[in-house]
Structures are given as structure tokens and as C-alpha cells.
């Protein structure tokens, strides 16, 4: 195994572990069925912008799988996939906006982060419509309920994450600079 590949694997493990720890630091507790505002997305986005799509997807997948180990809400096997591995894996799509030369432009960071968060939202939204719509208040459409429920925590989480990532991009641009291979695991 070459040194660069090992470095990438270590970064994935460290960032996935950091994301797991940050998932326990929650702001507010209004959501009964698992939603929360945390900093879990920060390490996934950092690595996606640093190393690219493949590494971002893998890191997100690992974070989602780790979430399954730490007290998930499970009502159906498909819901499990939508709310955990898939919802966090799609955050790696921010890696599409990774820069091969240095720090991505701030506009690319915003676009990548918003795109990936919307994909995560869609995964949770589908799960909410299909499996958690029963918790909608009487007379409320399950789609509207799922939309509002998931938006109520993902929008603030996205804005907080965006502020942190933009701060790091401006103040600590070295977080976004990788070694020779910055696009994935293959060398």
C-alpha cells in the first residue's frame, strides 16, 4: 500500500470518528423522531472538499453506518438505509466541487454544500413521507409534515455548517489542501 493511499484512509477514519463525536453535540431537542442540529456534516464536507467525490462518499457512508451503531430509530429496513447510510453518504457529493489545485472557490463550497444537504434532505424526506407520516398532526398531509419536520433541523444545520466551512476556508485554507492525489483513493 502506498503512503498516499494510507494517508487518505487515515483521514477518512479520523474524520468519520470526529463526525460521530460531533453528532452527539446537539443544539436543541425538539425533534421526536431523530432529527437534531449538530456539527456532524463538518468533517464529511471538509474531507469531500479536500479529497474529492470518492473519499467524500466513503466518509459519509461510514458516518451513516456509525450512526446505526449509536442508537438509531429503525422502523423498516428501507427506512434504515434512507436515514443512515444513504443520507450521510450523499453529503460526499460536495466533493464534485473539490479543487484539484488548492482551496475551492467560496462559491463552489456553497454550491457543493447546498447540493449535498439537499440530497440528504431528500433522503430523510422520502423516509418521513413513507414511514413517519403517521406522526403528522391530524389533517396534515404526510408530505407537508415530512418537508417541514426535516427542513426544521436540516436548514439550521446546513447554515451552521456552511458558516464553519467558510470560516475554515478563509482562515485555515490548509485544511483543503491535500497531497499529490486529491481526488480519491486510486493513485
Global pTM value: 0.90
Regions in the chain scoring below 50 on pLDDT: 180-183, 186-187
Which residue, 107, 102, 68, 103, is CA-closest to 85? 68
- Determine the CATH number of domain 3-174: 1.10.1760.20
Please report the pLDDT score of residue 27 as a whole number.
81
Please report the pLDDT score of residue 158 as a whole number.
98
3-state SS string for 125-136: HHHHHHHCHHHC
Boundaries of every domain in the chain: 3-174
pLDDT tens digits, 28-46: 666 555 668 999 999 999 9
Amino acid at each position: 500500500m502506498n503512503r498516499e493511499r494510507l494517508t487518505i484512509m487515515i483521514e477518512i477514519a479520523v474524520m468519520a470518528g470526529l463526525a460521530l463525536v460531533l453528532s452527539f453535540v446537539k443544539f436543541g431537542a425538539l425533534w421526536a423522531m431523530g432529527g437534531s442540529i449538530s456539527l456532524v456534516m463538518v468533517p464529511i464536507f471538509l474531507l469531500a472538499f479536500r479529497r474529492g467525490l470518492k473519499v467524500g462518499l466513503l466518509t459519509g457512508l461510514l458516518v451513516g453506518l456509525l450512526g446505526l451503531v449509536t442508537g438509531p430509530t429503525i422502523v423498516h429496513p428501507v427506512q434504515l438505509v434512507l436515514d443512515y447510510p444513504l443520507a450521510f453518504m450523499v453529503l460526499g457529493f460536495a466533493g464534485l466541487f473539490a479543487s484539484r489545485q488548492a482551496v475551492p472557490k467560496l462559491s463552489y463550497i456553497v454550491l457543493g454544500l447546498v447540493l449535498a444537504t439537499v440530497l440528504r434532505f431528500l433522503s430523510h424526506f422520502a423516509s418521513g413521507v413513507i414511514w413517519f407520516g403517521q406522526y403528522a398532526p391530524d389533517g396534515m398531509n404526510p408530505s407537508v409534515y415530512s418537508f417541514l419536520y426535516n427542513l426544521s433541523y436540516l436548514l439550521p444545520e446546513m447554515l451552521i455548517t456552511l458558516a464553519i466551512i467558510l470560516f475554515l476556508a478563509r482562515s485555515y485554507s490548509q485544511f483543503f489542501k491535500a497531497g499529490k492525489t486529491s481526488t480519491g483513493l486510486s493513485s
